[in-house]
């Protein structure tokens, strides 16, 4: 409570300082009150409550976590599941810690794709120069040469990367629930070639130089008069803020800029690029897709852009909670008809598995994935 009382005091100080600067009457009285408040602020206590450094381990071992034989993430010493609220009242710090762990898990899954699933990592663009931003996909050794069948996996949007369905499920449940590994292993056993797309790896982030930071803050399309007014307000606000900031010393994250990957700057671009350079070149007579969430939208966009090719090569598409919309994406009548015959969208529902679910869109059938998660329900299905 002491800490929160001090913060309220500081907020009061800011208001009083603003009033003083604006020439509010009784300045002497307010100055005396200001000095009284400042004398009662315990700066040492405030500094103790500052956010810890945003510095986290870069390995699972450093976090003291590991995956057990069931693929569950557990603490190395206590055996307990992952705890998000590691530090009370520090949500931002806990979130950054969670994200840091998520990045490690992404690399861990990449390793499993190569070691357990025996997939190879292929760099994109295929003709990338040494210095340009790059992405990658994973594929089996026979992905392009298997004459019979090929399985293509596309995850949804967000923080997930190649080989993942949902980071939250990997961390809170297990690898089988949150990754594509069960699909890949099953497909390999059944004689499929496999290609795993990486549609969210669209750019790399690099730290801005001081000149770039200054340029971005100065550049604006606003009228000069409005910008001057805005600058004046910002300067006045900064004066008041600096009074407190010099004690609090908050952590300021580095400013970064995004450098997009050529021809792979969005999930839709990525799907088309992989189709043009890999899937369409494969020997497989039958190509099958499994696309989750935004991956379904990316597939529909691929159909729109490469309709004839897709119809000639793709046999069937399993969508899971797909967010595609044939009206918004302006999919033509022939595409909608093909989807009705060759696609099925398994959606979250309390109804029994494969029960028909009403749809507002005139495209593919929607059926229940059964009580529970989508990927648990269709796992292992033919």
The catalytic residue positions are 293
For residue 12, the number of C-alpha atoms closer than 13 Å in the C-beta half-sphere is 16
Instruction: Write the CA distances from 57 to 95, 252, 356, integer angstroms.
Output: 14, 19, 47
Chain centroid, CA 160 distance in Å: 5
For residues 57 and 49, what is the distance between their CA atoms, to the nearest angstrom?
A: 22
For residues 318 and 343, what is the distance between their CA atoms, to the nearest angstrom?
A: 6
For residues 354 and 110, what is the distance between their CA atoms, to the nearest angstrom?
A: 32
| Residues linked to residue 286 through DSSP beta bridges, in sequence order | 149
Residues 345, 350, 353: CA angle, nearest 5 degrees: 55
Question: Could you give the 3-state DSSP secondary structure of residue 149?
Answer: strand
Q: Are 71 and 182 in contact (CB under 8 A)?
A: no
- Of residues 268, 265, 279, 258, the one with CA closest to residue 122: 279
For residues 270 and 137, what is the distance between their CA atoms, to the nearest angstrom?
A: 10
In terms of DSSP H, where are the helices of the chain? 2-21, 27-40, 43-48, 60-63, 91-115, 167-172, 175-178, 181-189, 210-218, 224-248, 267-277, 294-305, 307-313, 333-342, 374-378
For residue 169, the number of C-alpha atoms closer than 13 Å in the C-beta half-sphere is 16
Residues 201, 204, 207: CA angle, nearest 5 degrees: 155
Instruction: Write the CA distances from 129 to 27, 224, 273, integer angstroms.
Output: 66, 42, 17
| Residues linked to residue 150 through DSSP beta bridges, in sequence order | 193, 287
Instruction: Write the CA distances from 349 to 67, 170, 322, integer angstroms.
Output: 30, 22, 13
Q: What is the largest CA-CA distance in the chain?
A: 89
């Amino acid at each position: 409570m002491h800490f929160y009382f001090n913060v309220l005091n500081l907020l009061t100080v800011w208001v009083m300082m603003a009033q003083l600067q604006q020439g509010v009457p009784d300045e002497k009285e307010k100055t005396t009150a200001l000095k009284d408040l400042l004398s009662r602020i315990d700066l040492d206590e405030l500094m103790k409550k500052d956010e810890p450094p945003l510095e986290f381990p870069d390995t699972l071992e450093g976090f003291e976590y590991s995956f057990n034989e069931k693929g569950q993430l557990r603490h190395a010493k206590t055996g307990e599941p992952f705890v998000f609220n590691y530090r009370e009242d520090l949500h931002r710090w806990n979130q950054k810690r969670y994200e840091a762990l998520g990045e490690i898990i992404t690399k861990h899954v990449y390793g499993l794709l190569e070691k357990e699933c025996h997939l190879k990592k292929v760099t994109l663009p295929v003709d990338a120069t040494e210095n340009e931003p790059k992405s990658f996909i994973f594929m089996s050794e026979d992905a392009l040469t298997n004459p019979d069948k090929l399985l293509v996996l596309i995850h949804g949007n967000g923080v997930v990367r190649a080989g993942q369905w949902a980071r939250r499920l990997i961390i809170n449940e297990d690898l089988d629930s949150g990754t594509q590994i069960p699909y890949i292993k099953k497909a390999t056993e059944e004689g499929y070639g496999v290609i795993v797309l990486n549609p969210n790896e669209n750019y790399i982030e690099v730290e801005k130089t001081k000149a770039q930071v200054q340029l971005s803050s100065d550049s604006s399309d606003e009228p000069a008069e409005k910008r001057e007014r805005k600058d004046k307000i910002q300067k006045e606000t900064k004066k008041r803020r600096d009074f407190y900031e010099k004690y609090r010393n908050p952590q300021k994250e580095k400013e970064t800029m995004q450098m997009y990957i050529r021809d792979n700057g969005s999930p839709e671009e990525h799907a088309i690029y992989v189709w043009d350079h890999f899937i369409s070149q494969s020997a497989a007579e039958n190509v099958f897709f499994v696309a989750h969430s935004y991956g379904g939208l990316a597939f529909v966009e691929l159909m729109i852009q490469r309709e004839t090719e897709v119809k000639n090569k793709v046999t069937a598409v399993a969508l899971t909670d797909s967010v595609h919309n044939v009206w918004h994406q302006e999919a033509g009548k022939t595409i909608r008809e093909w989807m009705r015959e060759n696609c099925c969208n398994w959606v979250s529902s309390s109804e029994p598995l494969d029960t028909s679910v009403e749809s507002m869109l005139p495209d593919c059938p929607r059926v229940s994935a059964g009580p529970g998660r989508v990927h648990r329900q269709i796992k292992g299905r033919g």
